Amino acid sequence: MMTVPAYAATRVAVVATGRALPARAWTNADLIAARGLDSTPDWIESRTGILQRHIVSDGESTFTLARDAARAALAKAGMPAHAVGVLVVATCTPDYTFPSVAALVHAALGLPATAAVLDINAACSGFVHALAVAEGLLAAHTLDYALVIGAESFSNLVDWTDRGTCVLFGDGAGAVLLKKEAVSSGRGLLAYSLGADGTLAPELTSTHGVAQGQRAGVVHMNGREVFRHAVRHMGDRAHADALLARAGATLADVDWLVPHQANIRILDAVAQDLAMPRDKVVITLDRHANTSAASIPLALDVAAEEGRLRPGHLLLLLAFGAGFVWSSAALRW
């Protein structure tokens, strides 16, 4: 596992969040009816905690969601787009193989030509990985602001005949605007940790890719194995203790656990392993389903809007996904 210490002099802090969701929302019953699935609303709710998900329609895509989430974050901060020096989009469902979603957002928002603009793919861990990438780029950059976006349209990648996977995912985007601040502010990304075990890649994969016959493929998942490893890594107490120690904190100091929103049973198991009460866990899975790289920034935006995240609060972000790749971060709001 690679661990990276926070910078000594500056650190990046979240100054605003934003989100965008497709207009169309499908309840479990809507989904079952629309796709003719052999399932029940009760199975989906009881086995996953999902009540509904948003699904893109014509004119909506990973790019439009990313763009709109970014606009929302900039508007909340009252910041012009030309101040943004770094734009990182975490996605594994881009509109095109190239150009990147970030390049499309760059044009739509009118970011400066000097901006560092790229997509990254760390699947469901993408947002926390993107925070780490943006922090590094900001440190080496003359501008002070970065947009980090998690954006996905998994409805274009699921196998709608596979009831074991298609009920799990939803579409959406969340964005955060980061600002480089002096460490003395006390706010920001205090520490993070990234890890991977690529030998387990076949457990959660798309069936094809561009290099395998010019097809994107569909989601293939060994649900039970993914479940087991997700709990093992996100609920790793020793790892959480070590990460928080580098932030000068302990699990008892954490105000909010903000995990990747995969399955309520995974979240409950992780919270139990970390001895975190349910009311300290941000849960948006019920309304958004699993939106992969978008799930954590969507959860942040909802919790911020509801007034739950307050200045000075300590957040523990935990992500896990295909690869397997996992990441965690301690963030002072």
Contact 85, 145 (CB under 8 A): yes
Least distance between ligand UT7 and beta carbon 270 (Å): 11
How would you class 183 by CB atoms within 10 Å of its CB: exposed for 0-12, middle for 13-18, buried for 19 or more?
A: middle
Residue list 148-167, contact with ligand UT7 (CB under 6 A): 163-164, 167
**Is residue 18 left, alpha or beta, with left meaning phi > 0 and alpha meaning psi from -120 to 50?**
beta
**How many CA atoms lie within 13 Å of 239's alpha carbon, on the beta-carbon side?**
23
Least distance between ligand UT7 and beta carbon 204 (Å): 6
Q: What are residue 105's phi and psi, to 5 degrees?
A: -65, -40
Taking CB under 6 A as the rule, does residue 226 contact ligand UT7? Answer: yes
Q: Give 10 or 295: the residue with its C-beta nearer to ligand UT7.
A: 295
Among 17, 48, 193, 284, binds ligand UT7 (CB under 6 A): 48
Among 177, 230, 281, 314, binds ligand UT7 (CB under 6 A): 230
- In the annotation, is 121 catalytic? no
Taking CB under 6 A as the rule, does residue 41 contact ligand UT7? Answer: no
Taking CB under 6 A as the rule, does residue 43 contact ligand UT7? Answer: yes
What's the rounded Cα separation, in Å, for the pair 256 and 314?
Answer: 7
Taking CB under 6 A as the rule, does residue 205 contact ligand UT7? Answer: no
- In the annotation, is 54 catalytic? no
Candidate list 28, 54, 92, 124, residue with the active-site label: 124
Taking CB under 6 A as the rule, does residue 125 contact ligand UT7? Answer: no
What's the rounded Cα separation, in Å, for the pair 196 and 328?
Answer: 12
Taking CB under 6 A as the rule, does residue 284 contact ligand UT7? Answer: no
- In the annotation, is 233 catalytic? no
Residue list 64-123, contact with ligand UT7 (CB under 6 A): none
Q: Give 61 or 261: the residue with its C-beta nearer to ligand UT7.
A: 261
Residues 6+ away with beta carbon under 8 Å from 67: 20, 104, 105, 108, 109
What's the rounded Cα separation, in Å, for the pair 115 and 331?
Answer: 25
Contact 190, 127 (CB under 8 A): no
- Classify 99 as helix, strand or coil: coil
Task: Cite the DSSP H helix spans in 112-220.
Answer: 126-139, 163-166
Among 159, 208, 227, 232, binds ligand UT7 (CB under 6 A): 227
Number of residues located near ligand UT7, criterion CB under 6 A: 22
22-49 CB burial, b ≥16 within 10 A, e <16? beeebebeebbeeeebebebeebbebbb
Taking CB under 6 A as the rule, does residue 44 contact ligand UT7? Answer: yes
Among 56, 72, 115, 124, binds ligand UT7 (CB under 6 A): 124
Q: Which residues are part of the catalytic machinery? A: 124, 260, 290
Residue ranges in contact with ligand UT7 by CB under 6 A: 39, 43-44, 47-48, 124, 163-164, 167-168, 204, 221, 223-224, 226-227, 230, 262-263, 266, 290, 321
